[in-house]
Amino acid sequence: MGSPVPAGEGTPVGRASSTSPGLKAPTRRGTELVMLAFAATLVTGALILVEANQEQELTMQIVYLGLAYLTLFALAHLAVRRWAPYADPAMLPCVALLNGLGLVMIHRLDLAVDDDKATRQVMWTAIALVLFVVALRFLPDHRTLAKYGYTFGLVGLVALVLPGVLPGFIAPPINGAKIWLNFGVFSIQPGEFAKILLMVFFAAFLVSKRDLFTVAGRQILGLDVPRARDLGPLLAAWAVSVSIMVLQRDLGSSLLFFGIVLVLLYVSTERAAWVVLGLVMFAGGAVVAWRLFTHVQTRVSNWIDPFATAQEDGYQIVQSLFGLGTGGIFGAGLGAGRPEIVPEASTDFITAAIGEELGFVGLAALLLIYLIFAMRGLRSALAVRDTFGKLLGGGLAFAVAFQVFIVVGGVTKLIPMTGITAPFLSYGGSSLLANYILVALLLRISAAARTPKTAPKPKVQQPAIADQHTVMVERPK
C-alpha cells in the first residue's frame, strides 16, 4: 500500500505513525461530517426528484422526512466524535447514504401504493441509531465481547431457531418463511440479530481454539485436510443452516449464515481446505434440499426460467427483470418508473426498484457504496492488532458484502432468489437494528485500529498496517 519512499527520506516508520511524538494522528471526523452532509444533499435531492416526478406538492411530509434524516445522522456523528473519535470516517456516510436512499425509495413506493411505510422506517432508523449510539457508548473495547462469546452463541442459536419451532400464533409463516416473531403491534426477525450474535461467538471461539484447527491433518490433493474431530464447528454450522432452510424455509439466511461461518473458519485457520470442504457440504446439502423440498425446487426453476411461469411463481422475478430492463442504463428517473409492480418492492426487491428508477448507473453506484463500506470494514480488520477484532471485523464486513450479493444476485437472476433484505436499504426494523449494531461494532474495531497508543514503545511497536508505507530497504552491502 502506498508508493515507495526513497531511501534516506524520513524514517523507516510511516508518516502517520502513532509512535511519532508530537504528531497527532488525525481523527478524520471533519471528513466524516462533510461526507455526511454530501449524503444528506444527495438524499434530499432524490426526495425532491421523487416528489416532482410524482406530482406531489412540497408537503410537510418532505420537511419531516428530510429533517428527521439530518438530525438523526448529526446525532450519530456526534456520538462517534465523542466515543469513537478515531473510527473510520467513510463507513457512517456510506450507511447514511444507503439508509437515506432506502427511505426515499420506500417513500416513493408509499406514494404508488398509498401506504405509509416511510414514517415507520424513519422511526426504525431512529431506534436503530439509538442502539448504535448505545453500542458505541457502552462498548469502549470490542475485545470485551470475546469474553461473552459462549453466551452470545447460546442466545444467538436460540434466537435463530426460535421462530422455526414456536407455534404459529406467535411465529406466523409470512410468504412461506417462518422467521418472524409477532408481538401484536410490531414483529421482529430474531434471525437478523442472531447473525451478529453468532458471528461474535464464532470469532471468539475460533480465536481461543485457533491452534487446534491449524494442526495439520493429512495432505490430500495438495490441501491440508483437517482432522475429522476438528470438523465439529463446521458440521454444527452446517446443521444450523440446514435447519433454518428446513424449519423456517429461509434459504437466504441459511446461505448467508453458512457463508459467514465458512469465511470465519478460513480466516482464522488460513487454510483453504475449510472452504473447499464447506463448499462441498453446501453443494451436497443444496442438492438434497432441492430433491426433497418443493419450495427449493420452485426457487431453482424460477431461476432457470422464470418466464415459464411468468404469471405464477416466476411473476416476481420476471417483473423485477422487466423493471431493471425498462430502467436500462440511466433508469426511468426517480418516481417516474413503476417499481411498485414488483411484489415486495420495498423489502427484498428494493434494489430492483432502484435499478429501475436510477438505472444501471444507479445500481452500480449503490453496489460500489456497499463495496466501499465493506472494504473499509475489512481494512479496519486488517489494521486492528488483536486477532478477535480481525476475525470479527472481517466477518462483519464480509457479512454485508455477501448479503448484498445474495439479494442483488437474486433480483437480477444471477443466483436463485432467496428472499433476504438489502442491508440499510430495505424496509424492516429488525434488519435495520441489527445492521446498525453491525456498523457500531465495525466502527469500534476501526477506532481501535486507528487510535494512537498513548504510551509509545519504540522499535517494538508496529504501526497500524493500514497506515504503513511500503519502504524500500537498501540491501546490506
Stretch that binds other proteins, among 131-139, 140-148, 282-290, 358-366 (CB under 8 A): 358-366
For the chain, what is the radius of gyration of the CA atoms? Answer: 23
179-208 residues in contact with other proteins (CB under 8 A) are: none
What CA–CA distance (Å, rounded) separates 76 from 237?
35
Interaction between residue 162 and other proteins (CB under 8 A)? no
Interaction between residue 215 and other proteins (CB under 8 A)? no
Interaction between residue 391 and other proteins (CB under 8 A)? yes
Give the three cell numbers for residue 269: 485457520
Interaction between residue 338 and other proteins (CB under 8 A)? yes
Closest to other proteins by CB, 16 or 275 = 275
**Total residue count of the chain as it appears in this document:** 477
Stretch that binds other proteins, among 86-94, 117-125, 284-292, 383-391 (CB under 8 A): 383-391
Interaction between residue 268 and other proteins (CB under 8 A)? yes
Stretch that binds other proteins, among 65-73, 119-127, 232-240, 306-314 (CB under 8 A): 306-314
Contact code string over 438-477 relative to other proteins, x by CB under 8 A: ---------------------------x------------
Interaction between residue 371 and other proteins (CB under 8 A)? yes
Stretch that binds other proteins, among 56-64, 277-285, 375-383, 431-439 (CB under 8 A): 375-383
Interaction between residue 66 and other proteins (CB under 8 A)? no
The CB-of-379 to other proteins minimum distance in angstroms stands at 8
The CB-of-58 to other proteins minimum distance in angstroms stands at 13
Closest to other proteins by CB, 58 or 292 = 58
What CA–CA distance (Å, rounded) separates 302 from 310?
9
On whether the CB atoms of residues 295 and 287 are closer than 8 A, the answer is no
Closest to other proteins by CB, 145 or 321 = 321
Interaction between residue 335 and other proteins (CB under 8 A)? no
**What residue type is 390 in one-letter code?**
K
User: In this structure, which long-range contacts are made by residues 125-130, counting pairs with CB atoms below 8 Å and at least 24 apart in sequence?
Assistant: 125/68, 125/69, 125/72, 125/99, 125/432, 126/68, 126/72, 127/429, 127/433, 128/429, 128/432, 128/433, 128/435, 128/436, 129/72, 129/73, 129/75, 129/76, 129/436
Interaction between residue 428 and other proteins (CB under 8 A)? no
What CA–CA distance (Å, rounded) separates 45 from 33?
18
Q: Which of 402, 424, 427, 436 binds other proteins (CB under 8 A)?
A: 402
Closest to other proteins by CB, 196 or 404 = 404
Closest to other proteins by CB, 164 or 393 = 393
Closest to other proteins by CB, 188 or 391 = 391
Q: Which of 360, 451, 452, 471 binds other proteins (CB under 8 A)?
A: 360
Closest to other proteins by CB, 216 or 414 = 414
Interhelix angle 387-411/350-383, rounded to 10 degrees, is 160
Conformational region of residue 329, where left means phi above 0, alpha means psi within -120 to 50, and beta covers everything else = alpha
Got the DSSP string for 197-246? Answer: HHHHHHHHHHHHTHHHHHS--EEETTEEEPPGGGGHHHHHHHHHHHHHHH
Interaction between residue 48 and other proteins (CB under 8 A)? no
Interaction between residue 327 and other proteins (CB under 8 A)? yes
Interaction between residue 305 and other proteins (CB under 8 A)? no
Q: What angle do CA 140, 146, 152 make, to 5 degrees?
A: 105
- List the beta bridge partners of residue 219: 224
Interaction between residue 119 and other proteins (CB under 8 A)? no
Interaction between residue 341 and other proteins (CB under 8 A)? yes
What CA–CA distance (Å, rounded) separates 180 from 168?
10
- List the beta bridge partners of residue 333: none
Q: Which of 40, 46, 263, 432 binds other proteins (CB under 8 A)?
A: 263
Interaction between residue 325 and other proteins (CB under 8 A)? yes
Closest to other proteins by CB, 189 or 319 = 319
Phi, psi of 464 (to 5 degrees): -55, 135
On whether the CB atoms of residues 22 and 457 are closer than 8 A, the answer is no
Q: How far is CA 31 from the centre of its chain?
A: 23
Interaction between residue 414 and other proteins (CB under 8 A)? yes
What CA–CA distance (Å, rounded) separates 117 from 49?
19
The CB-of-235 to other proteins minimum distance in angstroms stands at 21
Q: DSSP 3-state assignment of 303?
A: helix
Conformational region of residue 448, where left means phi above 0, alpha means psi within -120 to 50, and beta covers everything else = alpha
How many residues line the site for other proteins (CB under 8 A)? 53
Residues within the interface to other proteins (CB under 8 A): 52, 55, 263, 266-268, 270, 307, 310-311, 318, 321-329, 337-338, 341, 355, 359-360, 363-364, 367-368, 370-371, 374-375, 378, 381-382, 387, 390-391, 394, 397-398, 401-402, 404-405, 408-409, 412-414, 465
